[in-house]
A = this chain, B = another copy of it.
């Protein structure tokens, strides 16, 4: 049963705990799609505002929901997830979260019905007032299944992510944390410090901020966001963030040497390297003819989905569609993935290395 098309014909139901920008944006989209969305927030007034804005249909709990999504600050996730997952009245529910650091949470929850998640999207808006139903369209949404994860729970959360318009990407929790330190936490810290340097200078020279053109505005935009989520992230991912920060400081030291010595060749080399890398950032959605179907016979047990999707996630392979065809015997099935053609062969080899027997073909639909 897919998360967004229940065989009952009734509206699918979700409970969302935490109605900040992310929780409220998820609520908004699902409500727009006809879901029954129940929400709550430790700030009761915020939940009431989300209700008044029509993002959610009710304030409170929903024991009938088949998914509970926790969108609180990271430090609250483990406690809430443990309470939900140990509640006999909620035994049928799958639980996911959206926190920016995953190792601490996935290890802390350690339950087969929990799938850690992290949407790589955001905005400088705050709270339910900033909610945007389209916030996740085309965004990568990391999922961190483990060997323990129930395949149906994974599939349900993955379907939810697809329903939200995002592209799911499986990664091991610690790998996720190391990578977001580089592409999210370090940039955020850098934006804040760059803005602080300019603010310091503008105290002395009032004209300075008048000169802030599009490039500066782009670079500091994320610094305008709500600081609330960051202390938990910097605590839970400190090691990876420090490593990324050291890599940047090393690069800046080298840049200082280049500027001070007037080394034109090295300067152009650096700028060209960055330019090529920036222009090679992955494009968003491929055309159907650029998609291959990868069919993989798999044993029908927990951990297989996590392993297969994580192997591909490591390679940066986007899985555009995922389906499990269970066999009638119930012990084996076929995992059918849609992946981009230019990485299909590399994906096949990586799966063969892990002992799978994948076959590639054109899309069957």
Known contacts A219-B222, A316-B207: does B245 contact A255 (CB below 8 Å)? yes
Which residues from B are CB-within-8-Å of A223? 271, 274-275, 277-278
- Selected interface stretch from A37-45, A182-190, A287-295: A182-190
A 165-198 binary contact with B (CB < 8 Å = 1; else 0): 0000101000110111011101111111111111
Contact between chains at B190 and A190 (CB < 8 Å): yes
The minimal Cβ–Cβ distance linking A189 to chain B, given in whole angstroms, is 6
Within 8 A of B (CB), among A275-319: 275, 277-282, 313-316, 318
A169 nearest in chain B by CB position: B210
Interface residue SS majority, chain A: helix
Looking at the assembled complex, report how far the CB atom of A364 sits from the nearest CB atom of chain B, in whole angstroms. 25
Query: Is A53 in contact with chain B by the CB < 8 A criterion?
Result: no
The one of B180, B211, B278 in contact with A184, judged by C-beta atoms closer than 8 angstroms, is B211
Q: How far is the CA of A251 from the CA of B195 in the complex (A)?
A: 10
Q: How far is the CB of A177 from chain B (nearest CB, A)?
A: 11
Is the CB of A362 closer than 8 A to any CB of chain B? no
**Interface residues as binary, A207-224 with B (CB distance below 8 Å gives 1, 0 otherwise):** 111111111111111111
**Known interface pairs A242-B256, A252-B249, A282-B209. Does A274 touch B183 (Cβ–Cβ under 8 Å)?**
no
How many Å from the CB of A236 to the closest CB on chain B? Answer: 10
The 5 A-B residue pairs whose C-beta atoms are closest, nearest first, are: A227-B271, A199-B277, A120-B213, A206-B316, A192-B274
